[in-house]
Amino acid sequence: MDKLKSGIEQAVQLISNSRCAIALTGAGLSVASGIPDFRSPGGLWSKHDPEKVASIRALKADPATVWNFLIDAAAMIQSVEPNAGHEALAQLEKSGGIHGVITQNIDGLHQRAGSMNVIEFHGNCSKFYCMECFSPFPAQRITPQVDLPVRCPQCDGVVRPDLVFYGEQIPQEAYKAAFELADQSDLVIVAGTSGDVVPASLIPPRIQDAGGKIIEINMAPSAYTSLSDVCIRGRAEEVLPAIVQNLS
């Protein structure tokens, strides 16, 4: 039996035997949708300095520059579609195979694929609010024609996306929800994330310390590899659908 096939069979076994499985996803999952990992060569951070375009300091000091970047990034994200990996996780949730997804991605592709219980550690790039009065700002009013920086019609404050900028903390609500879900879980499927960003990287070891298991699906070895009960080297958009198919 080849390695990939046996990895998939072991993963299917662990999911079937689990009481409450969850998925933890990162940039690698959305690469097949056409969003290059921000930190990889060719990714956004190879062309733009995140300190200048995606930090809270820059948003306060030079909101027009940040907004120029946000308009381009939002257009790129809106132009892509969920891939077979997102769809397989949505299907797994519907069939009761997993209870939710904790993601470090801001692209909203899990929800667009049909996942219901999605905890977004770093926020979402399609929700906006005013930095001064916190009024929500409708996403459909953010177009390439809008004056930059986008300003609040109520108070003229700068509008911002509901995502975590460099220099900001993970929102308390997401943090709490993620760790509560993790504490109910006895299995985590790690897909497309290398485990070098806290606090997401703390979740798999926490589940394992409580007696749970880890399935890793990544292209390359990661911080999770030495911990994983099942480690599958491959593309999440190929491996996850194969797992779903073998479960049914």
Q: Choose between 75 and 133: whose C-beta lies nearer to Zn ion.
A: 133
Contact residues: Zn ion, CB under 5 A: 130, 132-133, 135, 152, 154-155, 157
C-alpha 97/C-alpha 84 separation (Å) is 16
> 236: closest CA among 189, 188, 200, 181?
189
CB of 136 to Zn ion, least distance (A): 10
Contact between 102 and 25 (Cβ < 8 Å): yes
Q: Which of 110, 151 has the CB closer to Zn ion?
A: 151
Nearer to Zn ion, 135 or 246 (CB): 135
Q: Is 122 a catalytic residue?
A: yes
Shortest distance, position 119 Cβ to Zn ion, whole Å: 27
Among the listed residues 86, 99, 110, 122, the single catalytic one is 122
Rounded to a whole number of angstroms, the minimum distance from the CB of residue 216 to Zn ion is: 44
C-alpha–C-alpha distance, residues 76 and 133, integer Å: 29
CB atoms within 10 A of CB 203: 24
Rounded Cα distance, 164 and 128, in Å: 12
Question: CB of 134: closest distance to Zn ion in angstroms?
Answer: 7
CB 235 within 8 A of CB 83: no
Distant-in-sequence, close-in-space partners of 135: CB < 8 Å, separation ≥ 6: 129, 152, 154, 155
Nearer to Zn ion, 154 or 245 (CB): 154
Catalytically active residues, by annotation? 122
